[in-house]
Amino acid sequence: MSIFKFPFFKKKQTNKIEHEINHTINLPEHIAIIMDGNGRWAKKRGLPRFAGHKEGMDNVKKIVQVANKHHIKILTLYAFSTENWKRPKKEVDYLMQLPKEFIHIYLPDLIKENVQIKTIGAFDLLPDHTKRAIEHAIDKTKDNDGLILNIALNYGSRHEIVQAIQHIAEDVQNKKYEIDAIDESVLSKYLFTSELKDPDLLIRTSGEKRLSNFLLWQSAYTEFWFTDVYWPDFNEDVFEQALIDYQNRKRRFGGL
């Protein structure tokens, strides 16, 4: 009997076919990632938490390259939540200087790769040095028309919705809108994500299965994908598994 008849061999062959990404069908245009597990990644190696954050920062660049390779249009990365200020000051300070470090190391490459940098979140409340670095990166990449790297920094969905309501109330007071004219599309325009389509796929690393105040409004019909892998270990293979799973989902948006 030839080994080609053994079922395990056949299965392996089928898997290989299943694991190829078909670029002509059903790829997500907007992927959002909750990059979680930096601290646990470090702890597992007996390293301080900041080492996990540093490794996680380097991984952002790698994953941007993979997203680019698969022609993803928007990659929204949750880098710091409105609740992360509760962490020890030393860790917060470290996290707040990471954008500067990321931009210092990787901006030239990102410019070459035609990446456009954007942010969502309560930008004004960031430290000045963080704001300056990000403004510089946004300015240097504003004419790029490739992948949008959208960094959620000091982002919280509830805060985003509250500030949208405040601005809408102001505009109603100033007679810009009648109350009856406020609908879903109007509210969407007041969110930080006003220029971006809703995410098609949301990935969370590290085994946690919650949104942690990320894109609550925007993810109404997003496909969710969870992995136990910690963010610094999230690599091309894992990313591609998520893309293949997404390609096999049936999105119905309430229809049949």
- For 15-30, letters b (16+ CB in 10 Å) and e give eeeeeeeeeeeebbeb
Q: Is-catalytic flag, 84?
A: yes
For residue 143, what are its two tokens?
Answer: 């004419």
Distance CA 38, CA 84 (A): 13
Distance CA 72, CA 80 (A): 22
Residue 87 is labelled as binding a ligand:
yes
Please identify, using beta-carbon distances, which residue of 35 and 137 lies nearer to ligand IPE. 35
Residue 53 is labelled as binding a ligand:
yes
Q: Which residues contact 47 (CB under 8 A, 6 or more apart)?
A: none
**Which entry of 15, 22, 36, 235 is annotated as an active-site residue?**
36
In whole angstroms, the minimum distance from the beta carbon of 242 to ligand IPE comes to: 16
In whole angstroms, the minimum distance from the beta carbon of 211 to ligand IPE comes to: 8
**Do the beta carbons of residue 62 and residue 239 sit within 8 Å?**
no
Closest-approach residue to Mg ion (CB): 36
Please identify, using beta-carbon distances, which residue of 117 and 152 lies nearer to ligand IPE. 152
Q: Count Cβ atoms below 10 Å from residue 197 Cβ, excluding itself.
A: 11
By a kind-dependent CB cut-off of 5 to 8 A, residue 232 interacts, out of ligand IPE, Mg ion, none, with none
**Which entry of 59, 84, 150, 154 is annotated as an active-site residue?**
84
By a kind-dependent CB cut-off of 5 to 8 A, residue 121 interacts, out of Mg ion, ligand IPE, none, with none
* Residue 165 Cα to chain centre, angstroms: 24
Please identify, using beta-carbon distances, which residue of 73 and 87 lies nearer to ligand IPE. 87
Active-site amino acid positions: 36, 84
Q: Please enumerate, by residue number, every residue annotated as part of a binding site.
A: 36-41, 49, 53, 81-83, 85, 87, 204, 210-212, 223
